[in-house]
Structure 1
Amino acid sequence: MMRVTGGRRPQNLGHTLSCLWVYLKHHSIMLTLVAVLASLSAIAALIGTYMIRPVVNGLLENGSLTYLASGVGLTAVVYIIGALCTLGYSQIMVRAAQKVLREIRRDLFAHLQTLPLQFFDTNRKGDLMSLFTNDVDTVSDALNNSFALVIQTFVQVAGTLIMLFVLNWRLSLLVVVGYAAMFWYIDFSTKHSRAFYAKQQGCLGELDAYIEEMIAGQKVVKVFNHQQADLAGFAARNEKLRQAGTGAQSYAATMIPAVVSIGYINYAVIAVLGGLMVMKGWTDLGSLASYLVFVRQTTMPINQFTQQGNFLLAALAGAERIFTAMEEDPEVDQGTVDLVTVREQPDGTLTECADGETTGRWAWCDRSRPNVPFQPLEGDVRFHNVDFGYVKGHLILQGLSLYAKPGQKIAFVGSTGAGKTTITNLINRFYDVTAGSITYDGIDVRLIRKDALRRSLGIVLQDTHLFTGTVADNIRFGKLDATQQEIEEAAKIANADSFIRRLPKGYDTMVTADGANLSQGQRQLLAIARAAVADPPVLILDEATSSIDTRTEALIEKGMDRLMEGRTVFVIAHRLSTVRNADAIIVLEHGHIVERGTHEELLAHKGEYYQLYNGMFELS
């Protein structure tokens, strides 16, 4: 399992660059145009500098102002062409970069949607958010600021070297020595700072995750006066980021001063030797004037290269984190059994309905075996000697066998860690069993396509989550094509209709910040309504009434009874009063079933349920 946090050195820069190239080549025409314009801009700068030689020599030879004006005018035209090329490539690069970033964000989000729940259980939300913000931003900086400049810098450095040898090959040998010293130091600094940039990105993601966690839990923080401890935790993570940032910048910040210093030394030596050569008549004054400008300009493209090198190092570290997440193995679904709407023929056989046709009847269809008759969807769920553990070697459920016949209400009770929620996670295949099997209408759930399986289940989770949108939109989340009438019927079943109509805009009231403008009980009612609108044959109610007061709980019981009629229902509840009318109550302890029976049978047995019911043990 990949951890998106951490400060490790990039493991495979070549692989990261190849992944990035996959996105860049989608816009090869635009990027090629950027490269051409950036090269022309650099060439224009080189030609403009070289023009010093003929202008100076011509002026010394004939002293004509007309010649001077024409030379200066031609040089100005060259620089204007270079400026227009610079304007052109910068505008094109902005558009190309934004398209690349859009595609990276799109693919990253799409891939995260395919990952198993275990990935999200083992990675903090802040770390994942950091992929979309910090890491994508560093790639954005590199594309916007570095791509064209690296090309331009390469052309300028190569072109400058060529022009220097054309003007004076003897002095150019000294320039090459200066270039070698510059690039050696750049390579030395880059190697030492690369690991720090990777660590800096990891520390930044960790800090973001911590901040998000603390902001989300401010009520708990204040209730337990945990501000100082949280501040200490923030300070520790902030210090780790400071150290990583200092390490990265300590090397990176020395590159430009070192390059400039080497450039100044080189320039001084060349100026002295060049002057001596002019005095000896070994070269002309115009060539020396042009040559010295070239030498002076030598450090500029290299400085730009070192600056862009810092952007590129940070971008490669961020890109590696992004592509590592995108290479996580998606949720495996090898199921061949699909859920389809069917129509019963006069001879009693079932046939699949045409697209868009609804009959209210559903059946399982094995796409890999078209000759097998359709199996009606009934809601028969059975566990057969199931073992399961979230961590290898540590089983939560051991040898678990249970059944729920169609239309039965099965309640799970037990202490924390007994395995109640784990059972429901296995039914909808958030996780797969380690050993044994689970069947749904006689079909192993591993053979059923996950989207089809989950479409047949209605789930109200312990932790309600509402999305930004209207109240109606949040209920419609259970069935995207639900009509307004269906939404209101579902709300009435959950007894949410009355409070919804008292909201400022009724069903059109906006829900924000995970339902911060609603009470906990109201959020729970909307979650129940969301399950009701899906009209599933099997319901999983995980602590569904845990956040609802006794009066509200009594109000929804009648609606829930109507909703559960004719359906298979699994209920996990803190309050034993909510499971009293279950067809079977299963008492779990350490992953084993210790008792099973009706409320009356278990009380008469005077076992663990009897002790729980009479308050002898605390039910968590």
Structure 2
Amino acid sequence: METFKKLKDFYWPYKRYFIWSIVFMFLITGITVVYPIILQVTIDEVVLGGKSEWIPYLAFGFIGIMIIKGLGTYVHQYTGDLFGITSVYKLRNALYEKLQYLPFRYYDNAKTGDLMSRLTSDVEGFRFFLSFGFSELLRLMILVLSTFAVMFYYSPALTVVTLITLPFLVVVVFKFERSVHPAFRAIRKSFGKLNTNVQENISGINTVKSLSREEHVIDKFNTSNGDYKDKYLFTSAIWAKYFPLMEYLGNLSVVFLLSFGGYLVIEGSLRPGELVAFYSLVGYIMWPIMNLGFVINLFSQSKASGERLLEILEAENEITDIDESIVTEKLKGDVLFQDVTLRYGEDDKDALYNISFHAHPGKVVGLIGSTGSGKTSLTQLMTRFYEPVRGEVLIDGLNVNKYSLQSIRSNIGFVLQESFLFSSSIKANISYGRPEATMDEIIDAAKRAQAHEFIMELPDGYDTMLGERGMGLSGGQKQRIAIARSICVDPSILILDDATSAVDMETEFKIQKALKEVMKGRTTFIIAHRISSLKHADEILVLENGKIAERGTHEDLLKNEGPYQRIYDIQYQDKEQIMKMQIG
């Protein structure tokens, strides 16, 4: 029950619903045990005893009990569902909130499909046990105990003989639970992998089709689907192994009951109606205990789901606000790196090593280097997406961890290399980081990003609804809207992570021209592979293997004949050759 104890805060505040459900469950169970007693009285007193005048009373009494049971069942089920649904509403919100604040490091290893599976099927599995499983477990226990009391009242000797197989049945049930729980946990994990497979395939369908890899992804899905099938079949084999044994032990009790009970009736120490009632009561003990396997199944699934949910809730978030974090609306944008080293994992090599530089407010810093050299990693330290293992990152003279995360990130405009747009209007996408922005401010941001013209050509202009991930727009259009979104925030620090990589040369020229005005008064970091995008920077840092290989202005770096010079030669010599070929 450790899993349920850890999740107690989510369901215990709503215990009143659970208590009402249990109260009416007691009523229903009590009425259930009364049925065999009425049957016994009908046989012994009315049929064999000739008391026909009892028939109307028994009939109306039985109808009244049925009505009460029906009403009780309604309240029991409704309050039980209210308990489960309300609890997981709070749980699902907590999971989603935790996912929003977990650091990038968590998502480096997480799978989208698996996370979706946890927030849907695992939450639902946990809810079903809260709504039904808890109360059903109590119902079975109460039904068994109350039935045992009635049977013992009728005949202690027959009770002992009838229930002689009960200890063996209990042992089988608990062996079943120990086997089935790991199997259901394996099913949950396999289902998460299957979800991830589907999600990745749908997200990358363009790549799949463009490379004619349909057969490959089908085979990959078949493998995941086959693993899920095998896990389920293994669990079914456990069920098939234990349930016939449970049923055999239950039926063996009936054999003992009819044999010894029949003998007692012949001897006159047990009345026929009591034997019939006894037969009904045995079912109230044996079948609940056998049904305990079903409840244990629910418990196992719910426990496995709860464990997977706790993995999210208990995930460590090492990037949080300190107790007395500084809240500020506007930063100057003075950025200082002092001997900063970054490592993503304990066993990984350094992504950045002893990085030191100073970007004064309003200056433009260019970052260039091969893929994996650490350009993006460097800028992600400013926003505290990651924490350095050594050194300090300071903004306006203070370590970034002294500021609240909200203060830091609201002052940094980030245009990522891969632009992500939400399934909402263009207007909502541009004002996403600043919902209170006026329409004039949204239009101004779009104009500066060279996006206004093509937006106005769309059927609904700024009210045009975008498809998933910006479907319906070209790569360049999506990137310009992402730039407008960053401009709309009016940041003190602007980070352009290869922001013009998806646009043509003409559009890039327009954006660069517009960004010159946007950069005024802002500290700007330009990450680019093309020298043309950053050659006007006040300082250019050339990164190699996580280290600053050289630094300086465009003109200074060309004189050094170092890595920057080699990049320049590769890019511009190719252009000169192309121009000569075109002229020729």
Q: Structure 1-normalised TM-score? A: 0.89
Partner deviation per Cα, 1:572-598 (whole Å, 9 max, x = no partner): 012211112111111111112122121
Once the two structures are superposed, what CA deviation does each residue of 1:529-548 show, in whole Å capped at 9, x if it has no partner? 01101111110000100111
> Quick one: which amino acid aligns to residue 533 of structure 2?
T
2:486 matched to 1:531? yes
State the Cα distance separating 1:99 from its structure 2 match: 0.7
Structure 1 residues not aligned, in runs of 5+: 1-13, 342-361, 363-376
**Counterparts of 2:518 and 2:161, CA distance in 1:** 87
Give the AA of the match of 1:333.
Answer: D
SS of residue in 2 equivalent to 1:334: coil
Q: Distance in 1 between matches of 2:472 and 2:571?
A: 38
Report the equivalent of 1:310: 297
| Alignment-mate amino acid for residue 570 of structure 1 | F
Cα deviation code 1:119-164 (max 9, x no counterpart)? 1111111111111112112112323332332222222111111111
Does the CA-based 8 Å contact 2:342-2:350 persist in structure 1? Answer: yes
Q: Which residue of 2 aligns with 1:543?
A: 498
Residue 328 of structure 2 corresponds to 340
1:475 alignment counterpart: 430
CA contact (8 A) 2:176 2:242 kept: yes
Residue 335 and residue 444 in structure 1: after superposition, are their counterparts in 2 closer, same or farther (change >3 A)? farther
Question: Match for 2:414: what amino acid?
Answer: I
1:584–1:596 CA contact under 8 A, matched in 2 = yes
> Quick check: 325-334 or 519-528, which moved more?
325-334
CA offset digits 1:357-413 (Å, max 9, x no partner):
xxxxx3xxxxxxxxxxxxxx3211111111111122511211211111111111011
* Contact 1:386-1:397 within 8 A present in 2 as well: yes
**1:105 and 2:92 aligned:** yes
How much has 1:24 moved relative to structure 2?
Answer: 2.3
* Correspondent of 1:246 among 233, 257, 262: 233
Query: What is the match of residue 378 of structure 1?
Result: 332
Residue 429, structure 1, aligned to residue 384, structure 2: yes
SS in structure 1 opposite 2:7?
helix
AA in 2 matched with 1:234 = F
Q: How does 1:246-265 map to 2 (within 5 A)?
A: 246-265=233-252
Mapped contact 1:466–1:523 kept (Cα < 8 A): yes
Q: 1:562 aligns with which of 505, 510, 517?
A: 517
Check 1:339–1:558 CA distance in 2 against 1; reply closer, same or farther (3 A cut): farther
- Name 1:502's counterpart in structure 2: 457
Say yes or no: does 1:201 pair with 2:188.
yes
Q: Partners in 1 of 2:313 and 2:412 — Cα distance?
A: 29
- Counterpart AA for 2:475: Q
Deviates more, 1:610-619 or 1:97-106: 610-619
Aligned counterpart, 1:54: 41
Higher helix residue share: 2
1:426, distance to aligned residue in structure 2 (A): 0.9
CA–CA distance in structure 1, aligned partners of residues 91 and 384 of structure 2: 29
Q: Which amino acid aligns with 2:443?
A: E
| CA–CA separation in structure 1 for the residues paired with 2:263 and 2:463 | 85
Aligned pair in 2 of structure 1 residues 442, 22: CA closer, same or farther (>3 Å)? closer
Q: Describe the SS at the equivalent of 1:514.
A: helix
Q: Which amino acid aligns with 2:83?
A: A
Alpha-carbon shift at residue 334 of structure 1 (Å): 1.9
Q: Distance in 2 between matches of 1:400 and 1:289?
A: 87
Cα 1:323–1:445, aligned 2, differ >3 Å: closer, same or farther?
A: same
Q: How far apart are 1:268 and its partner, in Å?
A: 2.2
Match of 2:544 in 1: 589
What secondary structure, in the 3-state scheme, does the structure 2 residue paired with 1:406 have? coil
Note the C-alpha offset of 1:301: 2.2
Counterpart residue type for residue 188 of structure 1: K
8 Å contact 1:190–1:252 — kept in the other structure? no
Secondary structure of the 1:413 match is: strand
In structure 1, how many angstroms separate the alpha carbons of the residues matched to 2:449 and 2:120? 39
Q: Which amino acid aligns with 1:382?
A: L
What residue in structure 2 maps to residue 348 of structure 1? none
What is the CA–CA distance in structure 2 between the aligned matches of 1:531 and 1:336, rounded to whole Å? 28
Q: Could you say what the CA RMSD is over the residues aligned between the two structures, in angstroms?
A: 1.9
Correspondent of 1:29 among 5, 10, 16: 16
C-alpha offsets along residues 537-569 of structure 1, whole Å, 9 cap, x if unaligned? 110000100111112112212211111012110
Shift of 1:225: 2.5
Equivalent position of 2:174 in the other structure: 187
Amino acid at match of 1:575: R
1:390 equivalent to 2:378? Answer: no
Q: Please give the per-residue CA displacement for 1:61-99, whole angstroms capped at 9, x wherever unaligned.
A: 541322133223323322332222112211222222211
TM-score normalised by the chain length of structure 2 = 0.94
Whether the 8 Å CA contact 1:23–1:100 is kept in 2: the answer is yes
How many percent of aligned residue pairs carry the same amino acid?
A: 29
Q: 1:92 to 1:565 in 2, by over 3 A?
A: same
**Where in structure 2 are there 5+ consecutive unaligned residues?**
575-584
Secondary structure of 2:542 counterpart = strand
**Number of the residue aligned with 1:602:** 557
Is 2:393 aligned against 1:438? yes
Distance in 2 (alpha carbons) for counterparts of 1:618 and 1:16: 64
TM-superposed CA distance for 1:461, in Å, is 0.7
Map of 1:272 onto structure 2: 259
CA contact (8 A) 2:10 2:91 kept: yes
Letter in 2 for 1:464: S
Task: Assess if the C-alpha contact under 8 Å between 2:81 and 2:132 holds in 1.
Answer: no
Answer whether contact 1:385 1:398 (CA < 8 A) is retained. Answer: yes
For the structure 1 residues 519 and 452, does the alpha-carbon distance in structure 2 shift closer, same or farther, using more than 3 Å as the test? same
Matched residues, number = 572
Q: Which amino acid aligns with 2:102?
A: L
The answer (yes or no) to whether the contact 2:15–2:83 under 8 Å persists in 1 is no
